Amino acid sequence: MDLDLFVGGLTAGSLYALVAMGFNILYRPTNVFNFAQGDLVMLGAMLGATVMTVLGMPWFVGAALAMLAVAVLAFIEERIAVAPVLNRSATGHGWVITTLAVSMIFANLVGLAWGPDPIAVKPPAPLSTETFDLLGANVSSYQIAIVVLTLALILGVEAFYGTRAGKAVLAAAEDRDAALRTLLGQAAGTMTGVLAAPLLYASTGLGPALLLKGFAAAAVGGIGNNRGALLAGYIIGIAEALAAAVLSPGYQLAATFAVMLVILLIRPHGLFGRAEARAV
């Protein structure tokens, strides 16, 4: 296997795994998926890119401001589009429609505000997207940083769930409204958008692509399991890279669905999923 394909697959898979983790953080205590997550990712990328490139502020400042702004919007979304639905029916799934509606609203508003042109973003110093040879593969310091950060975040979140505080967060499932006030999932989504911008550019098309791949990683890994999402993200990323190289870039999405189909046919609950809806 071409090592360059492997590096590209790991980098893309890391981003997919982070989006999946954003889904899982919210799902584990609440059994709710936020289908506006992709547009929150995109909005984080657009806000961060604007602060960094237009206002000329440092990368970390742009990332922090983007996370803060999207956290506020996510809180408003939860109060308007999720909590009222759950209050009316604790076992219903009306939040699917309401979060999709919010996703469409976000996408249209961002399109009006920024337009269709992508924004190029530089990674934070001293990282760079310039590649160098590493054991026969062309890799950049920014790609290495994304893979390492993804591993650290996912393993860190899983370790947190094993602590007393983490178990308390999961136990908040007994009070859906209290659990939904957590914005960790949205923060992870915003950070994913900011991290993706130097590689994929900040654009309105970023959200739908990462939403689909992130949800695929969550499903293939096992809903609610972040380590499974990490492995699934890498499997999907490498499958896409192979499909693009062997066939054409137009087959990347087909590769994602093929991976989902094969794995879920063999393991309906995902690689690390369980039949139980939730365990605390």
Tell me if 138 sits within 8 A of 6, measured CB to CB.
Answer: no
Residue 217: pLDDT band (50, 70, 90) is very high
If pLDDT is split at 50, 70 and 90, which confidence band does 206 have?
confident
The mean pLDDT value for 245-270 works out to: 88
Q: Please give the Cα distance from 43 to 68 (Å, whole number).
A: 12
Beta bridge partners, 138, equal 133
Q: Which residue has the tokens 């337009």?
A: 115
Whether the Cβ atoms of residue 31 and residue 223 lie closer than 8 Å to each other: no
Contact 186, 71 (CB under 8 A): yes
Percent of the chain beyond pLDDT 90? 19
Q: Are 17 and 227 in contact (CB under 8 A)?
A: no
Q: Are the C-beta atoms of 189 and 44 separated by less than 8 Å? A: yes
Residue 172 falls inside a structural domain: yes
Residue spans of beta strands (DSSP E) within 109-238: 131-134, 137-140
- The total domain count for the chain is 1
Query: What is the arithmetic mean of pLDDT over 38-47?
Result: 88
Q: Is residue 232 part of a domain?
A: yes
pLDDT in tens, 90-132: 666 788 888 888 888 888 888 888 888 888 888 888 888 898 8
The band of 280, judged by pLDDT with boundaries at 50, 70 and 90, is very low
**DSSP for 113-130?**
HH-S--B--PPPTT--S-
Whether residue 274 is contained in a domain is answered as no
pLDDT recorded at residue 147: 93
The model carries a pTM of 0.86
Residue-number span of the structural domain to which 156 is assigned: 3-266
Q: Which whole number is the average pLDDT over 71-85?
A: 82
- E strand or H helix that includes residue 93: none
Highest mean pLDDT among 156-170, 235-249, 263-277: 235-249
pLDDT at site 165: 65
Distance CA 112, CA 244 (A): 32
Q: How confident is the model at residue 81 (pLDDT cuts 50, 70, 90)?
A: confident
Q: Confirm whether 212 is domain-assigned.
A: yes
Predicted local distance difference test score (pLDDT) of residue 168:
64
Supply the CATH number for residue 29's domain.
1.10.3470
Provide the token pair at 213. 């791949």
Domain assignment of residue 226, yes or no = yes
- At 152 the pLDDT is 92
Q: Which residue has the tokens 């984080």?
A: 44
In a domain, 279, yes or no: no
Residue 172 confidence (pLDDT) = 57
Residue pLDDT, tens place only, 170-202 = 665 555 544 446 566 677 778 888 888 888 888
pLDDT of residue 138: 87
Q: Given the DSSP bridges, would you call strands 131-134 and 137-140 parallel, antiparallel or unpaired?
A: antiparallel
Determine which of 60-69, 176-185, 257-266 has the lowest per-residue pLDDT on average: 176-185
Percent of the chain scoring above 70 in pLDDT: 88
- The answer to whether position 276 is within a domain reads no
Residue 134 DSSP symbol: E
Average of per-residue pLDDT values in the chain: 83
Distance between CA atoms of residues 280 and 244, nearest Å: 41
Angstrom distances, CA of residue 100 to CA of 82, 95, 105, 138, 161: 11, 8, 9, 39, 29
In a domain, 100, yes or no: yes
Q: Say if CB 29 and CB 169 are below 8 A apart.
A: yes
Q: Which residue has the higher pLDDT, 185 or 217?
A: 217
Res 278 pLDDT > 60? no
Q: How many CA atoms lie within 13 A of 87 on its CB side?
A: 10
